[in-house]
Amino acid sequence: MSKEKNKFERIAFVASDVPEAIEAREALIKRYGKTDPANADVIVALGGDGLMLQTLHRFINDKIPTYGMNRGSVGFLMNDYSEDDLRERLAAAEISRIHPLSMISTDSTGKAQKSLAINEVSLFRQRYQAAKLKVAIDGKVRLEELICDGILVATPAGSTAYNLSVHGPILPIKAALLAVTPISPFRPRRWRGALVSNKAHITISVLEAQKRPVSAAADHFETRDVVKVEIEQARAIELYMMFDRNHGLEERLLAEQFSY
């Protein structure tokens, strides 16, 4: 990260389109000024987890740290909202460094498209019939045929999102792992997923693609009628997420595992 340590004078504010977030942005601009994101030391995102992901994607190559404050319905990736002492909170914040996933999806016409995912890459059946998928890790087939509603590959940062809702494992933020988790698996019925190295190259091939069409999504970027999806960590891209001290992403992931 190229910004001077603990110095966040130039703050850019971005907000979701809900009234609470827009009002918060205007109030904070009055107190702390307004800076264009291209010239900012830090971006403060006002909204929910969806806005945080959108903001990280929008500035994914700029290496600007992002600090979220919750003005939405879901705020796992956000800090509590307050207009007071913002620069002091920024100076004391913990920084989590994360790498997104790279997805190369090839559709039925042979067109390949590359997308990035901060939380997860997901494959879903498009119609009423279950998908049939083949899963290979580093070129070796590990599942010849998985009949399911879909499958996802989650990063540690995304392991508490959709991955958790389909009973995937929560990964510590510093774990050198990815979660490969089935969505409503029918056969093999007892397969509940796997943990693989974050250096692994994962290839998911769609069997009977015309009869059982499948879509693929990298966060909110979707490709329809895919026949093959290749997934690996984009290690050259590093994102910086800021959290209030003692309430960082590592602590949140640990606390989530003991919630009931």
Domain with residue 191: its CATH number is 2.60.200.30
Q: Are residues 122 and 183 in the same domain?
A: yes
Residues belonging to the binding site are: 49-50, 119-120, 149, 157, 160-165
Q: What is the pLDDT of residues 174-202, one digit of tens each?
A: 899 999 999 999 999 889 999 999 999 99
Q: Are residues 37 and 114 in the same domain?
A: no
Using the predicted structure, report yes or no on whether residue 2 has a pLDDT greater than 80.
no
Check: CB of residue 46 under 8 Å from CB of residue 25: yes
Q: Are residues 33 and 111 in the same domain?
A: no
Q: Are residues 117 and 225 in the same domain?
A: yes
3 located within any domain: no
- Average pLDDT score, the chain: 92
Q: Are residues 242 and 226 in the same domain?
A: no
Q: What is the pLDDT of residues 77-129, one digit of tens each?
A: 899 999 999 999 999 999 989 999 999 999 999 999 999 999 999 999 999 99
Q: What is the pLDDT of residues 9-29, one digit of tens each?
A: 899 999 999 999 999 999 999
Looking at residue 246, its pLDDT comes to: 74
Residues belonging to the binding site for NAD(+) are: 49-50, 119-120, 149, 157, 160-165
Domain with residue 249: its CATH number is 3.40.50.10330
Check: CB of residue 99 under 8 Å from CB of residue 233: yes
Q: Are residues 118 and 196 in the same domain?
A: yes
211 located within any domain: yes
Q: Are residues 110 and 226 in the same domain?
A: yes
Pairwise pLDDT comparison (4 vs 217), residue with the higher score:
217
Q: Are residues 59 and 29 in the same domain?
A: yes
Looking at residue 251, its pLDDT comes to: 79
Q: Are residues 46 and 107 in the same domain?
A: no
The total number of structural domains in the chain stands at 2
Q: What is the pLDDT of residues 141-166, one digit of tens each?
A: 999 999 999 999 999 989 988 999 99
148 located within any domain: yes
Looking at residue 6, its pLDDT comes to: 55
Check: CB of residue 117 under 8 Å from CB of residue 165: no
Q: Are residues 190 and 110 in the same domain?
A: yes
Q: Are residues 86 and 170 in the same domain?
A: no
Looking at residue 156, its pLDDT comes to: 92
2 located within any domain: no
6 located within any domain: no
Check: CB of residue 11 under 8 Å from CB of residue 42: yes
4 located within any domain: no
**Enclosing domain of residue 155:** 101-233
How far apart are the C-alpha atoms of 115 and 135, rounded to whole Å? 20
Residues with a known catalytic role: 49
Convert 112-145 to b/e letters by CB count within 10 Å (16 or more is b): eeebbbbbbbbbbbeeeebbbbbbbbeeeeebee
Q: Are residues 187 and 83 in the same domain?
A: no
Q: What is the CA 15 to chain-centroid distance, rounded?
A: 19
5 located within any domain: no
126 located within any domain: yes
